[in-house]
């Protein structure tokens, strides 16, 4: 047997093994791609700038994007059910300025914080009820939530409200250091939100139901799963994360502002999709969404290092989003052929 004849079976074996791997792990491939893109960005930036991969820059990556990471957790739940939530930016703005107003009035943080979370969850509950019980499309229902949240934010105040409560400012000003590395309480909140979201999605009955509803709501009903409660709850979770993100952003900026979060809902959807969650529902990972946030934050940091306009961030993220949507469609098509 010649060397060429020996190499051909080996190539066929390698191709077959690769095909088997992609078929069995199709759902995780976009997330693996996101991790690869993040590594390429970090290594490329370090090679170009020479001082990019420093403890200070990497610590700031979490610090600057903590609110986005919290929002991405809630959005992952929604998109896995094949829904969408356009209200998250407005909910974050409303809960942020609502909490700042309460604190400015002398209300302690232990009361203001639950009020922020409940108000965010209430808007999410409204959207969930519209989607489930009134058969309103998620896009329209959450668009109504967007206008409601933004309107309520302007009702609270037309201008920014500065926060001087030491308990809230402590969340951002405190640094827990390990050498040159550091993390703030807001960063810890974001990490805890990701961990809880991942555990709920993968190790609870509710999480399994979320995936089932996203795969096929009709099949989930036939299996005896509570589709209605699950659909409503994912929007409540998204609203709750919006309230928590309002707290994080208010602590980060030191003020509540009614125009905060304009366009943030699109950023959140982008990072969740880049992280591997399929817009068609049924597949996605909270940890993948965290990777998507880091990709987004790394791109922003690289743009800042280059001294270019931040509009390039949206251009690059838009290109990545298109790429990942194409990849997702290819995965779905392959899965349908396989079934």
Architecture of domain 31-332: Orthogonal Bundle (1.10)
pLDDT above 90 (res 180)? no
Q: What is the DSSP letter of 31?
A: H
Query: Tens digits of per-residue pLDDT, 37-95?
Result: 899 999 999 999 988 999 999 999 999 999 999 999 999 999 999 999 999 999 999 99
Query: Domain locations in the chain?
Result: 31-332
Beta strands in the chain (DSSP E): 161-162, 176-178, 181-183, 255-256
In the chain, what is the greatest distance between 2 CA atoms, to the nearest angstrom?
Answer: 86
Show the tokens assigned to 30.
């976009």
Phi, psi angles (nearest 5°) of residue 125: -60, -45
- Name, in order, each residue with C-beta under 8 angstroms of 14's C-beta and a sequence gap of 6 or more: none
Residue 311: per-residue pLDDT = 80
Q: Three-class SS string for 190-207? A: HHHHHHHHHHHHHHCHHH
Residue 61: CB atoms within 10 A of its CB come to: 19
Nearest residue to 29 via CA among 211, 292, 288, 216? 288
Contact 87, 242 (CB under 8 A): yes
Residue 280: per-residue pLDDT = 86
Show the tokens assigned to 88.
């998250």
Query: Tens digits of per-residue pLDDT, 259-278?
Result: 999 999 999 999 999 998 98
Q: What is the DSSP letter of 339?
A: -
Show the tokens assigned to 131.
């989607």
Q: What is the mean pLDDT of the chain?
A: 89
Provide the pLDDT confidence category of residue 287 given band limits of 50, 70 and 90. very high
pLDDT above 70 (res 320)? yes
Query: Tens digits of per-residue pLDDT, 224-248?
Result: 999 999 999 999 999 999 999 999 9
Contact 92, 245 (CB under 8 A): yes
Q: What is the DSSP letter of 183?
A: E
- Cα 46 → chain centroid: 26
Phi, psi angles (nearest 5°) of residue 281: 90, 165
Measured CA distances, 133 to 71, 79, 138, 206 (Å): 25, 19, 12, 19
**H or E segment to which residue 299 belongs:** helix 286-306
Residue with tokens 């080996």: 10
């Amino acid at each position: 047997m010649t060397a060429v004849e020996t190499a051909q079976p080996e190539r066929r074996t390698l191709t077959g093994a690769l095909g088997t791997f992609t078929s069995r792990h199709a759902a995780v491939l976009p997330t693996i791609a996101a991790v690869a893109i993040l590594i390429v960005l970090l290594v490329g930036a370090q090679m170009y700038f020479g001082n990019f991969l420093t403890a200070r820059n990497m610590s700031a990556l979490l610090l600057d994007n903590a609110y986005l990471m919290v929002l991405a957790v809630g959005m992952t739940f929604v998109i896995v059910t094949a829904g969408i939530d356009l209200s998250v930016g407005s909910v974050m703005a409303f809960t942020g300025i609502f909490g700042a107003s309460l604190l400015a009035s002398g209300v302690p943080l232990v009361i203001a914080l639950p009020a922020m979370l409940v108000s965010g969850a209430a808007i999410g509950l409204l959207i969930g009820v519209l989607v489930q019980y009134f058969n309103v499309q998620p896009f329209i229902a959450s668009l109504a939530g967007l206008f409601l949240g933004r309107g309520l934010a302007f009702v609270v105040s037309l201008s920014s409200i500065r926060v001087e409560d030491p308990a809230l400012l402590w969340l951002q000003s405190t640094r827990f250091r390990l050498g040159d590395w550091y993390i703030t309480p807001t960063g810890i909140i974001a990490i805890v939100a990701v961990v809880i979201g991942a555990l709920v999605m993968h190790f609870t009955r509710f999480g399994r139901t979320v995936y089932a509803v996203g795969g096929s709501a009709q099949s989930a009903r036939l299996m005896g799963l509570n589709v209605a409660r699950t659909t409503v709850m994912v929007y409540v979770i998204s609203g709750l994360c919006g309230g928590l993100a309002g707290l994080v952003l208010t602590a980060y900026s030191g003020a509540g502002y009614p125009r905060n979060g304009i366009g943030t809902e699109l950023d959140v959807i982008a990072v969740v999709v880049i992280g591997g969650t399929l817009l068609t529902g049924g597949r996605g990972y909270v940890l993948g969404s965290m990777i998507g946030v880091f990709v987004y934050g790394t791109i922003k940091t690289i743009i800042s290092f280059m001294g270019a306009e931040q509009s390039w961030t949206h251009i690059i993220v838009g290109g990545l989003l298109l790429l990942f949507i194409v990849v997702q469609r290819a995965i779905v098509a392959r899965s349908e052929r396989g079934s």
